[in-house]
Amino acid sequence: MTNLSLYEPFGKMQFTDTNCFLCGTAITTEHRAPVFAEWLQRKYNLKDKELLLLDKSVTSFGQLTIPCCDHCHTHYLLPLEEEVESAFSQGIEGVRQLPQQRLFQWIGKMYYGTLVTELIKEANPLIMPEYAVSEDPKMLGKFRMFFMVLQSLRVPMVFSDFLPCSLFLLEVDPTEDNLPFEYQDELTTMCFSIKLGPVAVVCTLLDNGIIGRALGRLYGVTQGQQLHPVQVAEFKARAFYAAYIFAVVPEYFVRPTKPDDTKLVLDTLIDDVTNEIFNPWEMTAYAHMLEEMLKPWSIREDKILQNPGQPLSFLLDAQNNFKPIQHFVKPV
Ligand SMILES: [Zn+2]
């Protein structure tokens, strides 16, 4: 009989160094798994690379580990990493072939890993964070829902007619790309992006694919193109901004099970009757997000909003068609 019981750490806020993050089993503090897998650290030389956490403390990719029991590590994390490593070794086509649910789990594990690190820290009475996610009931509600679907990593689970996120795959033109590895996440808006060599993956978690549909046309024009890094940055700004104004939280429900069931089936519900899906788009807020993403090219907000009706774009021309960029020239 398959064990289909889900772990629920949020009720008791069981975020400690002695409970497996995925199944809750009591473990000792030596049992840990890297948030960024060994193969990533090896391939992109990340071990000592600095990483800024939410509370502005600095760690390194190598040091960022989460409590994980041997069983979960061996049976659920390692096989996933092997699958993803092999997919990425075949370029964007390989990544496209990955089941979307696997890609969701892979990104979800890294996202949740950084989140758990934050929650464990906040549970330490000596640390008084300026902003504690663990004290924000709305955020905790979102995290609880998210962790439920992330457990598809461990408990066989079918999502009835949805994917709990939007995934965007972008191919990067190597000509002016000098960053083999890039990573960004935002805990509160649940956005994540990672770039490995020529493949960038942008993911907005817990939106049930709604942001994917909202950005469908833009995403469509990027497909089959090799994007300049500045174009990838703009795409990220648009996806991250969409997540920022995304205003609803999906709920997930497990269908009742029978004793011989071998998997859980999950249904979802989004309350779009009493709630607007998106808060209104504000041009200056978007420009601010874009400015942030365009930092490496030092393009300021006033440049972005030079034409207030149409913010600066490196992806689309005035007719909203794809604008190829081979060589970046700073706009004057
Ligand atoms: Zn475990």
Beta carbons of 151 and 22 less than 8 angstroms apart: yes
Distance from Cα 26 to the centre of ligand 1, integer Å: 9
> 38: CA distance to ligand 1 center in Å?
19
- Does pLDDT of 255 surpass 70? yes
CA neighbor of 244 nearest in space, from 292, 278, 200: 278
Find the mean pLDDT for residues 180-198.
Answer: 95
Q: How remote is the CA of residue 94 from the centroid of ligand 1, in Å?
A: 29
Mark out the alpha helices in 182-305 (DSSP H runs): 210-214, 216-222, 229-245, 283-293, 301-304
Q: How far is CA 74 from the centre of its chain?
A: 23
Write down the pLDDT at residue 171.
Answer: 98
260-279 b/e with 16+ CB inside 10 Å = b? eeeebebebeeeeeeeeeee
What local confidence, expressed as pLDDT, does residue 1 receive? Answer: 67
Report the distance separating Cα 21 and Cα 33, nearest Å. 10
Distance 35 CA to ligand 1 centre (A): 14
**Above 70 in pLDDT, residue 129?**
no
End-to-end CA distance of the chain: 66
Ligand 1 centre and the CA of 41: distance in Å?
Answer: 23
Examine the pLDDT at 15 and tell me if it is beyond 80.
yes
233 C-alpha to ligand 1 centroid (Å)? 36
Give one DSSP letter per residue of 96-145, joined into a string. HHS-HHHHHHHHHHHHHHHHHHHHHHHTSTT---SS-GGG-HHHHHHHHH
Q: How far is the CA of 29 from the centre of ligand 1 (A)?
A: 13
Q: How far is the CA of 79 from the centre of ligand 1 (A)?
A: 14
Mean pLDDT score of the chain? 94
Distance 78 CA to ligand 1 centre (A): 13
Give the distance (Å) from ligand 1 centre to CA of residue 24: 6
pLDDT band at 260 (very low <50, low <70, confident <90, very high): very high
Residue type, 241: Y
3-class secondary structure, 77: helix
Q: Is the pLDDT of residue 272 over 90?
A: no
For range 261-265, the mean pLDDT: 97
Ligand 1 centre from 20 Cα, in Å?
5
Of the candidates 275, 251, 243, which has an alpha carbon nearest to the alpha carbon of residue 166? 243
Please state the rounded mean pLDDT for residues 6-32: 95
CA distance 141 to 144: 5
**pLDDT over 90 (residue 118):** no
Packing angle, helices 78-88 and 100-122, rounded to 10: 130
Q: What confidence score (pLDDT) does residue 61 get?
A: 95
Spatial distance between the Cα atoms of 150 and 22, rounded to a whole number of angstroms:
9
pLDDT range class, residue 170, cuts 50, 70, 90: very high
Task: Band the pLDDT of 134: cuts 50, 70, 90.
Answer: confident
Q: How far apart are CA 157 and CA 143, in angstroms?
A: 18
Task: Give CA separation, 176 vs 40, 198, 199, 235, 284, in Å.
Answer: 22, 11, 14, 17, 29
Residue 265 CA to ligand 1 center (angstroms) comes to: 21
Cβ-contact 69, 61 below 8 angstroms: no
pLDDT at 131 over 80: no
Q: For residues 29 and 18, is the Cβ–Cβ distance under 8 A?
A: yes
Cα–ligand 1 centroid distance for 83 (angstroms): 20
User: What integer pLDDT is reported at residue 128 of this predicted model?
Assistant: 64
Most confident segment among 84-88, 297-301, 309-313: 84-88
pLDDT digits (tens, 9 = 90+) for 32-76: 999 999 999 999 999 999 988 777 788 999 999 999 999 999 999
Distance 154 CA to ligand 1 centre (A): 8
User: 156 is written with which tokens?
Assistant: 């066989």
- Across the range 213-235, mean pLDDT stands at 97
What local confidence, expressed as pLDDT, does residue 226 receive? 97
More confident residue, 271 or 210: 210
Domain definitions of the chain by residue range = 9-155, 160-323
* Sign of the torsion angle spanned by Cα atoms 101, 16, 115, 33: negative
For residue 133, what pLDDT is reported? 79
CA 277 – ligand 1 centroid, Å: 35
84 dihedral zone (left: phi>0; alpha: psi -120 to 50; beta): alpha
Ligand 1 centroid–CA 70 distance in Å is: 7
d(CA 26, CA 100): 31
| CA 257 to centroid of ligand 1, rounded, Å | 22
Q: What pLDDT shows up at residue 158?
A: 97
> Average of pLDDT values for 20-24?
97
Q: Are 168 and 95 in contact (CB under 8 A)?
A: no
Kindly tell me the sign of the dihedral angle through the C-alpha atoms of 240, 246, 251, 252.
negative
